[in-house]
C-alpha cells in the first residue's frame, strides 16, 4: 500500500470512507434546487404558504436571504426521514387550515419527501475532481474505499452510477440500512470489519461536523474535512485533523516509502 496524501498531510491509510453529498459532489448545485422544489411542493397545499415557508426555512436551517444552508442545521446533516418529521411538525403547528398529525405526515410523504427522494438531475452533479480517476488511483495503490451517507440507498446508488463509479465502490452504507444514523460510529465500524482494517487506519472524509463527529466517535486515525459543502474551514477545524479544499487534494503518494 502507498501512503495517501490529504493536502500536505500524509497518512498510511488502510481504508478511506467518503461522505457523499458535499464531499464526492459539490453540495449546493444539487440541493438548492431539490430543497426549493420540496418546499414549494408542500406549501402550495396550504392557505398560508408564505408563513409556512418561513417556518420551514427556520426549522431546517436555510437562510433565504443568502441562499445558504446552516452547517449545523438538519437539512444539511440529517436523514430524509428526520427532515420529513420536522416538516410535518411545522405543518401540524402552523398550516392553515389546521391539520392533524396523521394528515401532516401523509402530506409530507406525497409532496416534500417525494421531491427529496427523486433521483437528482445528473447535470447538477458537479464533482470537485475526476472521481473515476481518483478511485482508480486508490485501487491501484491497494487502498479500499467506502461511502457512508445520510441519504437513502436508492438515491445514493443512482448518484454513484451517474458519477461513473457505481461499479467500483464496493461498500455503500446509507441511512435506510440497518445502522444507527450519523454521527453514531457503527457504520464506520461495519466498514472496517468488512475490509478487515483496524479502525485506527481508517480515514473519514466529509464536509460536515456530523461526519467529523462520526469519525471521532468511531476512533478513526484521521478525520479530513472538505470545503465543498456548507461548513466553513473554521467550523471543520474544530473537529477535523486536516481541512482540504476538496477531494481533489487526495492522492496516492507513491514517492513515499
pLDDT at 106 over 80: yes
At 126-173, the pLDDT tens digits run: 999 999 999 999 999 999 999 999 988 999 999 999 999 999 999 999
Phi, psi of 205, rounded to the nearest 5 degrees: -115, 120
pLDDT of residue 256: 43
Burial of 162 (0-12, 13-18, 19+ CB in 10 A): middle
Average pLDDT over residues 51-67: 96
The reported pTM is 0.89
Q: How far apart are CA 189 and CA 21, in angstroms?
A: 21
Amino acid at each position: 500500500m502507498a501512503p495517501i496524501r490529504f493536502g500536505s498531510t500524509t497518512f498510511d491509510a488502510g481504508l478511506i470512507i467518503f461522505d457523499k453529498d458535499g464531499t464526492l459532489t459539490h453540495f449546493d448545485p444539487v440541493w438548492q434546487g431539490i430543497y426549493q422544489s420540496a418546499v414549494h411542493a408542500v406549501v402550495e397545499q396550504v392557505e398560508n404558504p408564505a408563513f409556512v415557508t418561513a417556518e420551514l426555512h427556520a426549522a431546517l436551517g436555510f437562510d433565504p436571504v443568502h441562499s445558504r444552508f446552516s452547517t449545523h442545521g438538519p437539512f444539511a446533516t440529517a436523514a430524509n426521514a428526520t427532515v420529513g418529521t420536522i416538516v410535518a411538525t411545522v405543518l401540524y403547528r402552523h398550516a392553515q387550515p389546521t391539520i392533524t398529525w396523521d394528515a401532516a405526515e401523509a402530506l409530507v410523504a406525497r409532496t416534500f419527501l417525494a421531491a427529496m427522494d427523486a433521483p437528482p438531475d445528473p447535470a447538477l452533479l458537479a464533482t470537485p475532481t475526476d472521481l473515476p480517476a481518483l478511485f482508480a488511483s486508490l485501487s491501484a495503490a491497494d487502498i479500499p474505499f467506502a461511502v457512508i451517507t445520510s441519504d437513502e440507498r436508492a438515491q445514493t446508488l443512482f448518484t454513484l452510477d451517474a458519477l461513473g463509479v457505481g461499479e467500483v465502490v464496493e461498500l455503500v452504507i446509507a441511512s435506510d440500512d440497518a445502522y444507527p444514523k450519523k454521527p453514531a460510529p457503527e457504520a464506520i465500524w461495519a466498514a472496517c470489519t468488512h475490509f478487515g482494517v483496524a479502525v485506527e487506519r481508517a480515514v473519514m472524509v466529509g464536509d460536515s461536523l456530523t461526519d467529523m463527529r462520526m469519525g471521532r466517535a468511531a476512533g478513526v486515525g484521521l478525520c479530513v474535512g472538505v470545503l465543498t459543502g456548507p461548513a466553513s474551514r473554521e467550523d471543520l477545524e474544530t473537529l477535523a485533523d486536516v481541512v482540504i479544499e476538496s477531494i481533489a487534494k487526495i492522492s496516492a503518494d507513491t514517492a513515499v516509502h
